Every structure is written in structure tokens, then in C-alpha cells.
């Protein structure tokens, strides 16, 4: 049996791989990357991408089953994610005129990634 440190490392590496897959998938859809693994205000955003006048703050979830990935974005995760999005926007005033949304990309083994635009509402106040 693996120890806790090995399990955490494996989970971390699986997450990095899922983020790479998600980024490549979004690039194929015409998105341009603005940031990866942005952390601020007690939250983290896996990817920040832009297409046209829309900035998408993207949460990437990698799970063995797609349904497990869908359930993994909890209300607490949404609050931390939104705090980080507000922090990023405060540091990039040019983005004030753009449309913002919280997207999700779900990655499961042997499946195409699933991109869900506007997966949840950003809490902007």
C-alpha cells in the first residue's frame, strides 16, 4: 500500500496531466491561454483562457468517472474559485469590459474531455 505522501503526489501529477489535456482541448476550440494555476485570495483557478470578448475561468476536474467529476465542484470550491477570479480581475483592469464566466472541463480516462461553459455562477460581490 502506498503511503499518504505517494498518494498526494500521484493525485497532484494526475491533476497536472488533466490540466494539460484540458488546455490542449480548449486551444483546439480557439481559446487563448492567459494564465495557468493562478492562486490568490485563498483560491486557485486551473486555467484562465479567452476567446473573443469572453474570459473563461476554468476549473479542471479529473476523475475515474465523469459523474464523479461533475459532483466535485462543491459550494465551498465555488466560493474560493470566485475569490481568486475577483483577485485576477482586480489585477487586470483591461478585462473589465469583457464577459466573464466560470467554465469547467471534466477529464476521465479513455474519454474526450467535456467542456461545460458557464458551469456555475461566479460570485462577484
Q: Domain with 10 in it: what CATH number? A: 3.40.1350.10
Task: Assess if residue 81 is contained within a domain.
Answer: yes
Q: What is the pTM of this model?
A: 0.89
What pLDDT sits at residue 14?
Answer: 82
Q: Residue 41: which residues within 8 A CB-CB, separation 6 or more? A: 83, 84, 86, 87
Domain interval for residue 46: 4-120
**HEC sequence for 67-116:** HHHHHCCCHHHHHHHHHHHHHHHHHCHHHHHCEEEEEEEEECCCCCCEEE
**Per-position pLDDT tens, the chain of length 125:** 568 888 888 778 888 889 999 999 999 999 999 999 999 989 999 999 999 999 999 999 987 766 676 677 889 999 999 999 999 999 999 999 999 999 999 988 888 999 999 999 999 87
Q: How far is the C-alpha of 59 from the C-alpha of 94, rounded, in Å?
A: 22
Task: Assess if residue 57 is contained within a domain.
Answer: yes
Task: Assess if residue 125 is contained within a domain.
Answer: no
What pLDDT sits at residue 69?
Answer: 66
Amino acid at each position: 500500500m502506498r503511503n499518504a505522501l505517494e498518494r498526494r503526489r500521484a493525485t497532484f501529477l494526475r491533476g497536472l496531466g488533466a490540466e494539460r489535456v484540458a488546455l490542449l482541448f480548449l486551444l483546439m476550440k480557439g481559446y487563448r491561454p492567459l494564465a495557468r494555476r493562478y492562486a490568490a485570495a485563498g483560491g486557485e483557478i486551473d486555467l484562465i483562457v479567452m476567446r473573443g470578448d469572453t474570459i473563461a475561468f476554468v476549473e479542471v476536474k479529473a476523475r475515474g468517472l465523469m459523474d464523479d467529476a461533475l459532483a466535485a465542484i462543491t459550494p465551498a470550491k465555488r466560493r474560493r474559485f470566485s475569490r481568486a477570479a475577483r483577485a485576477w480581475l482586480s489585477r487586470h483592469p483591461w478585462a473589465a469590459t469583457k464577459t466573464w464566466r466560470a467554465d469547467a472541463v471534466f477529464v476521465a480516462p479513455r474519454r474526450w474531455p467535456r467542456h461545460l461553459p458557464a458551469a456555475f455562477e461566479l460570485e462577484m460581490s
